[in-house]
Structure 1
Amino acid sequence: MLLMNGNCSGFGRKRARSEDDADAGCPFVMQRKMFVNQIQMDRRDERKMRQIEEKTVNMLFLGAKTSSRQQGVCQRECLRHVRLLGAGEYDFDLANCPQWMGKKADRKCRICDRQSVVHADCTNCNLELCEFCGISCHYCPEKICMNCVNLFNCQNSDVPCCERCKIFN
């Protein structure tokens, strides 16, 4: 016996409804395919779920211990030895910061959209800057963007001044 579309009671419908099959007394049971993988099997096992949770927590704590805090401090300290001259030029102290020597432009600056080597934050407005859109303060090693140079009324970019140095000079 061949049944079209799994409908036992009538052949006029395109698709059988589940309540119609139960009422009509259809001898065929509705079947479904389910993909069961190891993760779904482990979800039912409480012991296995505890092991997974412990492993996840251990990995989180291990990642927190070896986070990039030290790298951020090192990078910030290294940026102190880089002097932005503006117009895409920069200078650095070879004795204190040798890793800058072989570095190539690695990503685009968010402000000027150019490939840049130096990525720092403006000390006044906290915007990202690079060697094209930033310059170093004349009095201290802080980096400032050209908008802040204009905002703090530095007559020219030869003597740029950050907010802190502008107060004391």
Structure 2
Amino acid sequence: MAQDLVEYREYVRFLSQNNENRVFLNSDEEKAIVVFSELFAKAQKNVRIFAGCLSNSVSNSNDYISGISDFIARGGEVRILLNRYSKEKALESNLLKRLAFYQTEGKPVSIQTCNDKPYFSNDPDNKEVHFTVADGEIYRIETDIESRKSICNMNDQIMGEKLELFFDTLSQNATNLDLKSVYKMK
């Protein structure tokens, strides 16, 4: 592991453990995995994820899958909205297969599809964003969904609650997705 990634991981962990309300940046896939790992480790109650299809190298990394799995095992609730869901991509996703398993176990995991493409209202280009928010205070907003660039914070209740409310609003018009049937699980 490169030294800058080690330092980045230590920095994110410091912000998390000390409940720092400080915006920091995430500039690539490796750093995205670091942020998600820390987000899942810190989360206690719920995680809301708005994403494309969750069939990429970040969401299918071992750290991401084990992080979200540990969170669910601790009793956490996961709600997901996907705006680019496809059954073909889902069949390639180890993460979605794991989440389908948790659904068969009766764990609080819900997955929905929608057509929404959220963006910052002050962005003249209306560039699509994806986001994850946990416990109404921990967040990662992907401002460039291709290069995985994002803004993050481990303790911002004001923005975290806004993201939760926004997610819940989008969720009201979304369609429930039964991954158990996709993977032929009972």
> Do they superpose with TM above 0.5?
no
Greater per-residue helix proportion: 2
TM-score by length of 2: 0.20
Greater per-residue strand proportion: 2
Give the structure with higher Rg (CA).
1
